[in-house]
Amino acid sequence: MKESGVDGKILELFRSGDGVVSGAALSKALGVSRTAVWKHVKGLRGKGYQIEAVPSKGYRLLSSPEILTNLDITAGLGAKRIGSSVICLKETDSTNSVAFKMAEDGAPEGTVVIADTQSAGKGRLGRIWLSPAGVNLYCSVVLRPAIAPVAACQLTFLSVVAVARAVERCTKLKPQIKWPNDILINGKKVAGLLNEMNAETEKVNFVVLGIGVNLNLRMAAISEGLLRHPATSLLEEGGEEVDRLRFTRVLLEELDQLYDNFLVEGDGPVRAEWLARSAIKGRSVKVSQQNREFCGVVQGVDSFGALLVLLSDGTLETVLSGDVALL
């Protein structure tokens, strides 16, 4: 077992037990000596884990470092591909930029980059994604699907549905999806997704799925002018702090499961779930594009991620980009 693998396994055992785990149990489960267990516990303390030694009983994990760590995220993660490598940064410009560079340098599929804060978080259409420290999730995932560039937008469905499922599993809230890739709670934006791609004419080299979720952000801490949409956080809507680590692990597991299914069955199932969760199907909307605005009723999405909007003259518009507002 790799050294970091032992640390991860220790954390997993702490979490799966109900308090104190004996040195003997740890040594047996890990296949290392009691002295080695002690050395790893010491190492984990050095990394910010508070571990209490309970005399003649064993060890108990009291707390983890405040920022997310790759050990915490990967220990016992039930995912096949996503999280094969997890990089947690205290601060960066943009996790998407870091993941993109890593992918250009050959980072494997499933590489995840997470930052506690971003100084230049990227939003859609060149906008800024506000990324204060210590409260939210900013995460980018490298995928290398064998698909044509035109099909890459199907991956947007994956990240949107994965976030919606994670919100449902970690809170009592009911998320809604707004085209193309916003997650709303009570009509306010709680998460945004930005996918970036490197491709040749015929094939995708890699896609970076960028996911930003407002978890424990207090909206009063943000000056109003900085937010374009009515925005919110899971804490504001649910009234309870969300465990960032749990949310991250659940999200990566959901993403992994959806991606696995996508590789076998294509985008049909995930698109169906996207539509079922969509806040705009059958609703009247106003579409704003660079040089044009029009209104119509949303019929659905096609397999390229385009929104299908029926205009009053009976024309079916295929909307590939723009902003959509409910009327």
Distance in Å, CB of 119 to ligand BTN, minimum: 10
Going through 81-203 in order, the beta strands assigned E by DSSP cover 85-92, 111-118, 137-143, 176-178, 182-185, 188-199
Whether the upstream peptide bond of residue 65 has omega within 30° of 0, thus cis, is no
Sheet of 188-199, strand order:
85-92, 111-118, 137-143, 204-213, 188-199, 182-185, 176-178
Closest CA to 216 of 115, 118, 137: 137
Distance in Å, CB of 89 to ligand BTN, minimum: 11
Would you say how long the chain is, in residues? Answer: 327
Binding mask 47-86 for ligand BTN (x = CB under 6 A): ----------------------------------------
Distance in Å, CB of 113 to ligand BTN, minimum: 8
Q: How far apart are CA 13 and CA 17, in angstroms?
A: 6
Give the nearer residue to ligand BTN in terms of CB position, either 14 or 248.
248
Is 307 a binding residue for ligand BTN by CB under 6 A? The answer is: no
Binding mask 118-147 for ligand BTN (x = CB under 6 A): x--xxxx--x-x--------xxx-------
Q: How far apart are CA 162 and CA 254, in angstroms?
A: 5
Q: Which residue is nearest to ligand BTN (CB)?
A: 192
Residue 215, token pair as written in the block: 């978890």
Binding segment (CB under 6 A) for ligand BTN, from list 13-21, 51-59, 92-100, 266-274: 92-100
Distance in Å, CB of 62 to ligand BTN, minimum: 30
Binding mask 15-54 for ligand BTN (x = CB under 6 A): ----------------------------------------
Is 212 a binding residue for ligand BTN by CB under 6 A? The answer is: yes
Q: H helices within the chain, ranges in order?
A: 3-16, 23-30, 34-46, 70-74, 95-104, 154-170, 234-238, 244-265, 268-277
In sign, the C-alpha dihedral spanning 12, 13, 17, 22 is negative
Q: Which of residues 67, 193, 207, 285 is near ligand BTN by CB under 6 A? A: 193
Residue 305, token pair as written in the block: 């991620």
Binding segment (CB under 6 A) for ligand BTN, from list 24-32, 37-45, 170-178, 191-199: 191-199
* # chain residues binding ligand BTN, by CB under 6 A: 20
Is 96 a binding residue for ligand BTN by CB under 6 A? The answer is: yes
Q: How far apart are CA 41 and CA 22, in angstroms?
A: 12
Closest CA to 189 of 134, 132, 234: 234
Q: Which of residues 64, 69, 74, 95 is near ligand BTN by CB under 6 A? A: 95
Give the nearer residue to ligand BTN in terms of CB position, either 229 or 286.
229
Which residue type sits at 298?
A: V
Site residues (vs ligand BTN, CB under 6 A): 94-96, 118, 121-124, 127, 129, 138-140, 182, 192-194, 210-212
